Structure 1
Amino acid sequence: MLADTRLARLGRWAAVALTAVTIAGAGAMGIAEAREQGTTLTWSHPQEPPNWNYWATGASALSVPVFHNVLEPLVELMGDGSVAPLLATEWTVSDDGLTYTFKLRDAKFHDGTDLDAGDVVYSIMKNKESPLANTKVPLTPVQKVEAVDAHTVKLTLSKPSQRLLKELGQTAGIIVPEGSHEKLDLAKGELVGTGPYTFGAYRPDVDLTLNRFDGYWGDKPYFEKIVHRFIPDETAAINALLAGEIDMVASVFGEGLDRLKAVAENSDFKVIIPAPMEINYIFLSTHKKELKDPRVRQAIAYAVNHDDILEGAQAGYGRTVCQWVTPAGEPWDSDYCPYAYDPAKAKALLKEAGQEGLELDFPFITVAEHPVIKDILVEQMAAVGITLKPRALDLATWLEQVNTNGDYEFSNLTSNVKAEAFVCKGGRQPLGRPDSELCDETFDQMAAASDSILDQGEYVKAMAAMTKQFADSAWVIPIHQKATPTLTRSDLVGQKPYRFRVEMDARKLHWASN
């Protein structure tokens, strides 16, 4: 059981629920009022995606500007966990949970073509083939997708699914024109969606411009243009905000967290802290012989001081965890911690396993919170006799070497996928890699069985059992649920108080005076 400090600083400012807290100071410098309130909004993000293919690249750096702004899913997942209409205006589910029928709204794609059932059939079937576990795994029960008429789509399932409807509000439900994957170069940014903005000029290492789409089916957004700047140095990004060069720092991941309080004390700016939506975690290779011994994996888990990592890498903004539950606050979320920090136990297990002096290759990402976490993990593992050998990789190289090629023994990442995405063969690594040498069949069976349970009470019990099984196996070691604050001008309003894909949803953003 982790200590009550698990809420750390987030606990002072925000509840662990799908809501956000806004902090603004009382000082009055008048900077925000003096700056122009134009129709172009400029924000920054510390990461740039390796490419723009949403279907094959799971980087949050892609989701921030694209999700909901350019590409829209079939339905919308709300902050309270409910599902609201988006491209689908209404839907029905059969009593046996095997048939979902969606009615589509009149909407246009950015290329001027009309949304119809054929586009939805194409998109869902294509999403079932995605290499991303969080996109394809939720669609596993979907056997058939068919157009009933031009504005009606029917999904037929092989078994009921608790997750499906909510997942159709995320990447599994993104809808694009039929033939997009064959006709367009998605990686280069040829993205055609139904969102309020079109994908405009992209200048690598500089910025991306989104242009308001006049044919948008919904309310016209206030801003005509959004300039999404890539500023990897968070100190530089915050300085740009304070100097009036940008209007928002869309995501604060690393060193900028230490300046949140100072920014919040200035009345010209505000800090928005959503509830934790991602988990930072360690994952271990199934190809490393020593790691196949559960005692070694447990020793690694016992060696992790969650509180020190949360404080050191996130300035305390988040919540330490040992279980994989996203988003925070699900009914099966708990304090269960099979391997709470205990370096003495870690040493004893390593000695028992004959693995004193264990060395592990550790490729790490060189942006956001990852370098700091690397330093802390190297120190914590060394304290129990494990030597980590860090390899610094930029995001694109890390995705290729670690994500695609599986070239790692020990690594660290932050993600918002569900625990079920870690199933064997086709799921997320380590066990989900096609070349994985091991499989937790018990976890796989529990994941499949829980999703088919229609009774909500029984479903919660099954999910609690499944997440405990996942934690016990220690192939994946959750460290903390991560909050991602946003810094903005105080006169900018309309920010959505929750985030699921780390998206910066611009639909409702406007100046307070407009």
Structure 2
Amino acid sequence: MPFAKRGPWGAVAVLVLLGLLVPGAAAQPKPVVVVQSGEAATLDWHMHCDKNAHEPDRQIFDTLLRRDLKTLKLEGNLAESWRLLTDTTWQFKLRRGIKFHNGEPFDAAAVKFSVERMLNPAQGAPGRTSIASIDHVDVVDPYTVNVVTKTPFPLLPVRMSPGHCGTVGILPPKYVAQVGDAGFAVKPVGTGPYRLVEWVKDERLVLDANKDYHRGAPAIERLVFRPVPELTTRVAALLSGQADLVSDVPPDQVAKIKASGVARVEVSTLGGFVIMVKMTNYLMPGPWQDARVRKAINYAIDLDTIIKTVLEGYGQPLGVPLEKEAFGFNPAIKWWGYDPERAKALLREAGYANGFEMTLHAPNRRYMNDIEVMQAMAAMLGKVGIKATVQVWEQSVYTTKWRKRELLPAYMVAWGGAGVFDGDLLVNSLHSKSALAIHKNEALDKILEEAQGTNDPERRRALYFKAQEIIFEDAPIIKAYQQAHIFGISNRLDWKPWIDNMLFLYDARLK
């Protein structure tokens, strides 16, 4: 449903359509309206990996732990404390007196139910693999649980904090049993700062403040999420006063928002998408099987210029696909710089003095200016004799092909930190058995597996440092960068971005 044009009756009509005004109802403060790129398929936290569902879910549900935004350290949320009892047992002490929105008490039974529901293969939770090391949950008493793992699982506390797939939101077991999975998907109940009031598919999703929230009632009484697929329409809604918050604003819209006088831009660089171009060394024969060629490709790419021009400064080079704030990031390694002469020398050494042809696969607007980034890389490769063709795919086709490992020899992909901030992200992005892997390095696999199997932080740090040394020498990717997340925010809303592009609106205020 398009936004109405503003005219003598246009503004009122829009408010009614958004669910902001109800005919005959008493006047209420204007809700905060968030426009999103699409409609959620389900609001069951455990059953999706969808940003459009995550955002309302983060207002409805809670996790046992959360992050301090200044220190990035984990702190209690629904749990007041946690500790490691043995190498394979984590104990959580729960806060008392918390209730779900339907009045059902939050307790150890709810934690056990939520974790084991995600673990159940029959449930089909898409984030199950991220917590598959958990064996079971023991209820010690109504406010104490022991989470028992099959092997050491150092990331377990992280999986009990906010993120995307693979993090455990806490659900009410009695209510889920009462309404079933299908009922819960459309009428979820959590312990979060907002409760679901109404969901009209493809039109609006309305949340009201939870006055009994354990951290205190939110300042904003009502939130309305609206699906608006077209980006320019979302920005137009912000500038016309019909929306208060738009995420994933492209750089070319920033100046328009800044000049509007009614909205502003906020940029989050913390935990943003880590973008890389993966290269295969075994699925397709060719020059890219030689590490010298893969290094040459990296030396041919001027990533600083790409970020400055194509991304208009909204990003930072990383080299390794790991955030600089992450545990285990090795600052001592100076990742492949821009040196076209060195690139040419490596190509001659590898027997490709006259270059070669290759295809770079890119999605259509999945990441910030993704096509333009790949085109810039192709142009730079051309200067050292590599004729690179950029093949662009629609997003649905692209994701299907990457799961089948058909985007060869090189394709663009991103990993969202999602509040993990740990070297374990290297497992997801570069282990040969990860879902989207197209490169094999047995030494790297072994190091990453060792890091996953110990709770000793110093041992883990040393292993992640070694993993990055292997990545540097093997060059399985074109050096990674981290894109910033740009938000458009109405001037009446007092809110700062959280980690990554995740929306947490509990702390938001109206000016």
TM-score, L = length of structure 1: 0.76
Aligned partner letter, 1:504: L
2:145 to 153, 157, 166: 153
Shift of 1:197: 2.8
Aligned to 1:91: 82
User: How far does residue 269 in structure 1 lie from its aligned partner after superposition?
Assistant: 3.9
Q: Look up the SS of the partner of 1:148 in the other structure.
A: strand
**Contact 1:276 1:318 survives alignment (8 Å):** no
> Within 5 A, what are the aligned runs for 1:347-358?
347-350=344-347, 352-353=349-350, 356-358=355-357
SS in 2 for 1:173: coil
SS in 2 for 1:499: coil
**CA gap 1:51/1:225 in 2 versus in 1, 3 angstroms:** same
Which is higher, the Rg of structure 1 or of structure 2?
A: 2
Match of 2:193 in 1: 196
**Counterpart selection for 2:226 from 224, 229, 248:** 229
Alignment match of 1:304 (pick from 301, 306, 309): 301
Q: What's the counterpart of residue 123 of structure 1?
A: 114
Amino acid at match of 1:311: K
The verdict on how the C-alpha distance between 1:140 and 1:281 changes in structure 2, with shifts beyond 3 A counting, is: same
- Note closer, same or farther for the CA distance 1:99–1:431 as it changes in structure 2 (3 Å cut): same
Q: Give the deviation of 1:249 after TM superposition.
A: 2.3
Of 297-306 and 46-55, deviating more is 46-55
Residues 258, 315 of structure 1: 8 Å contact kept: no
Matches within 5 A, 1:425-436: 427-428=428-429, 431-433=432-434
Amino acid aligned to 1:149: D
Equivalent position SS for 1:124 = helix
The aligned counterpart of 1:104 is 94
Following superposition, the deviation at residue 456 of structure 1 comes to: 5.0
Q: Indicate whether 1:287 and 2:283 are aligned.
A: yes
The aligned counterpart of 2:31 is 40
Distance 1:436 1:320 in 2: 22
Contact 1:275 1:328 (8 Å CA) reproduced: no
Q: SS of the residue aligned with 2:309?
A: helix
CA displacement at 1:250 relative to structure 2: 3.2
Indicate the residue corresponding to 2:171 in structure 1.
Answer: 176
Contact 1:276 1:327 in 2 (8 A): no
2:424 to 377, 396, 420: 420
Q: State yes or no: 1:499 paired with 2:491.
A: no
Structure 1 residues 319 and 97: CA distance shift in structure 2, 3 A: same
Deviations 1:299-336 (A, max 9, x none): 33223221122123431023211123236365735263
Query: Which one-letter code corresponds to 2:398 in the other structure?
Result: W
1:73 matched to 2:68? The reply is: no
For residues 435 and 462 of structure 1, do their structure 2 counterparts lie closer, same or farther at Cα, with a shift above 3 Å needed? Answer: closer
Give the 3 Å change call, closer, same or farther, for CA 490–258 of structure 1 in structure 2: closer
In the other structure, the counterpart of 1:468 is 469
Q: Measure how far apart 1:174 and its partner are.
A: 2.3
Q: In the comparison of the two structures, how many residue pairs are matched?
A: 464
| Residue 5 of structure 1: aligned partner | none
**Is the contact between residue 241 and residue 247 of structure 1 (CA under 8 Å) also seen in structure 2?**
yes
2:377 alignment counterpart:
377
CA distance in 2, matches of 1:469, 1:119: 43
Equivalent residue letter for 1:398 = Y
Contact 2:362 2:374 (C-alpha < 8 Å) held by counterparts? no
Aligned to 2:243: 246
Deviation at 1:93, TM superposition (A): 2.6
Deviation at 1:40, TM superposition (A): 1.0
Is there any run of 5+ residues in structure 2 with no aligned partner, and where? 1-26
CA displacement at 1:472 relative to structure 2: 3.7
Unaligned runs of 5+ in 1: 1-35
Q: Quick one: structure 1 residues 56 and 222, their matched pair in 2 at CA, closer, same or farther if it must change by over 3 Å? A: same
Partner residue of 2:481? Answer: 480
Cα shift at 1:430? 7.3
Residue aligning to 1:275: 269
* Equivalent position SS for 1:386: strand
Deviates more, 1:187-196 or 1:153-162: 187-196
- The Cα RMSD (Å) is 3.9
1:365 and 2:357 are equivalent in the alignment: no
**One-letter identity of the residue aligned with 2:477:** V
In 2, Cα distance between the equivalents of 1:299 and 1:183?
56
Q: Which residue of 1 aligns with 2:8?
A: none
Partners in 1 of 2:126 and 2:344 — Cα distance? 35
Distance 2:310 2:38 in 1: 17
Identical-residue share of aligned pairs (%)? 20
Q: CA deviation at 1:42?
A: 0.9
Contact preservation (8 Å) 1:326, 1:416: no
Partners of 2:334 and 2:461 lie apart in 1 by 18
Amino acid aligned to 1:413: V
Instruction: Tell me: CA distance 1:56–1:401, structure 2 relative to 1, closer, same or farther (3 Å).
Output: farther
Q: Distance in 1 between matches of 2:414 and 2:466?
A: 23
Q: How far apart, in 1, do the equivalents of 2:72 and 2:151 lie?
A: 22
The answer on 1:509 being equivalent to 2:508 is yes
Q: Which has the higher contact order (CA 8 A, sep 6+)?
A: 1
Q: Residue deviations 1:341-363, cap 9 Å, x none?
A: 23344344445545632322514
Post-superposition CA distance 1:121-174 (Å, at most 9, x none): 243345457999995565355343222233321023455554332332134232
Equivalent AA in structure 2 for residue 406 of structure 1 = R
| Pair 1:433–1:333, CA change in 2 (3 A) | closer
SS at match of 2:503: coil
Evaluate the alpha carbon distance shift between residue 134 and residue 229 of structure 1 in structure 2; reply closer, same or farther with a 3 A threshold.
Answer: same
Shift of the 400–422 alpha-carbon distance from structure 1 to 2, 3 Å rule, reads farther
How far apart, in 2, do the equivalents of 1:178 and 1:195 lie? 16
**Residues 45 and 229 of structure 1 are in contact (CA less than 8 Å); yes or no, is this contact kept in structure 2?**
yes
- The DSSP-based 3-state class of the residue aligned with 1:289 is coil
**Mapped partners of 2:453, 2:154: distance in 1:** 6
Distance 1:257 1:55, change over 3 A: farther
Distance 1:54 1:280, change over 3 A: farther
- 1:186 Cα offset (Å): 9.5
Post-superposition CA distance 1:12-54 (Å, at most 9, x none):
xxxxxxxxxxxxxxxxxxxxxxxx9934111234466677675
SS at match of 2:356: coil
**Counterpart AA for 2:373:** I
